[in-house]
């Protein structure tokens, strides 16, 4: 069985134009928790001014109706984020840094070396229950293709620090399956976070599993985009991913019908159709 981490409430909503209030975001999390998903990334602890969509992270975390078997995660970029995370009852911390100077500069006002130092201190303070996600591991909007050796070096470094889990992210959706396969296999990374910006997201996720990953990030309805690419579509859709995997006999433990119902609900909340295709096309066979 493989694990899916649902990132819609965080990566998805953070890239939506509309800002949803904390109650609605908590409701989304609570609905998702009923589907059998083993992990949900609930919020990001960033400054409200920087990401207004994530304002009230503490309120969202406090409004979660905890369910057994579900791990609730929060994203942390820096020391301040760590302090805020530690005040909540969330289970897992996702510490993120980019693989390039350019991305860290725009995203965290730091060079790669500074971002690495920051992330390392945070991970060292709490290695257990911590995931490190390396953003733009395949391609960067500012620096183009990313050297796989740089990514390997980061993976090894965070492993040595004791990080429980490492995820490689194709943040802007530029990777192709062969690239994902070799980078996951070469680094031994645990997970893959893919966007479907150029329609390679599902093939990439599939190939990540074949290369040894056991964790895939996905977003309900394919929610989200990329702040640096206004026309970019979002993460791979959780329900489309589950349909593909279950169809191929890969167990996910997730109730597909329940996911579809959440995408239908979310489309009404946001007042627009979502990127995901399964919730519109329907599950096959239908019942």
Interface residues with Zn ion (CB under 5 A) are 11
Nearer to Zn ion, 230 or 282 (CB): 230
Contact 129, 92 (CB under 8 A): yes
Which residue of this chain has its Cβ atom nearest to Zn ion in the complex? 11
CB-count burial class (<10 Å; 0-12, 13-18, 19+) for 282: exposed
- Choose, from 33, 226, 237, 241, the residue flagged as catalytic: 226
Angle at 7 between CA 246 and CA 71, to 5 degrees: 80
Q: Is there a catalytic annotation at residue 226?
A: yes
Nearer to Zn ion, 64 or 223 (CB): 223
Which H/E stretch holds residue 23?
A: helix 22-32
CB of 286 to Zn ion, least distance (A): 31
Nearer to Zn ion, 51 or 63 (CB): 51
Residue 68 DSSP symbol: T
Helices (H), 95-237: 101-108, 112-125, 148-160, 177-187, 201-210
Nearer to Zn ion, 11 or 165 (CB): 11
Report the greatest alpha carbon distance in the chain: 53
CB of 260 to Zn ion, least distance (A): 22
> CA 11: distance to chain centroid?
6
- What is the signed CA dihedral for 162, 167, 168, 169, rounded to 10 degrees? -130
CB of 31 to Zn ion, least distance (A): 21
CB of 11 to Zn ion, least distance (A): 4
Q: Which residues are catalytic?
A: 226
């Amino acid at each position: 069985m493989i694990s899916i981490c649902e990132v819609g409430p965080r990566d998805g909503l953070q890239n939506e134009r509309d800002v949803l209030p904390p109650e609605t975001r908590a409701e989304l999390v609570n609905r998702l928790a009923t589907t059998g998903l083993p992990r949900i990334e609930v919020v990001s602890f960033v400054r409200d001014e920087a990401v207004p969509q994530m304002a009230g992270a503490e309120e969202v975390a406090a409004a979660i109706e905890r369910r057994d078997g579900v791990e609730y995660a929060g994203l942390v970029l820096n020391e301040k984020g760590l302090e805020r995370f530690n005040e909540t009852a969330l289970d897992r911390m996702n510490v993120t840094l980019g693989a390039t100077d350019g991305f860290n500069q725009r995203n965290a006002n730091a060079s790669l070396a500074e971002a690495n130092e920051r992330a390392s201190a945070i991970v060292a303070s709490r290695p257990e229950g911590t995931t490190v996600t390396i953003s733009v591991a395949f391609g960067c909007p500012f620096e183009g293709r990313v050297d796989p050796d740089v990514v390997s070096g980061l993976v090894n470094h965070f492993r040595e620090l004791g990080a429980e889990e490492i995820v490689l992210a194709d943040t802007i959706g530029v990777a192709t399956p062969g690239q994902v396969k070799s980078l996951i296999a070469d680094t031994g990374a645990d997970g893959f976070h893919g966007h479907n910006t150029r329609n390679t997201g599902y093939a990439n996720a599939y190939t990540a599993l074949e290369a040894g990953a056991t964790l895939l990030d996905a977003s309900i309805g394919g929610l989200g985009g990329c702040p640096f690419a206004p026309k970019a579509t979002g993460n791979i859709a959780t329900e489309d991913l589950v349909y593909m995997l279950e169809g191929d006999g890969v167990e996910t433990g997730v109730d597909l019908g329940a996911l579809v119902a959440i995408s239908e609900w979310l489309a009404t909340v946001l007042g627009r159709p979502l990127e995901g295709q399964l919730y519109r096309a329907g599950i096959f066979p239908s019942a």
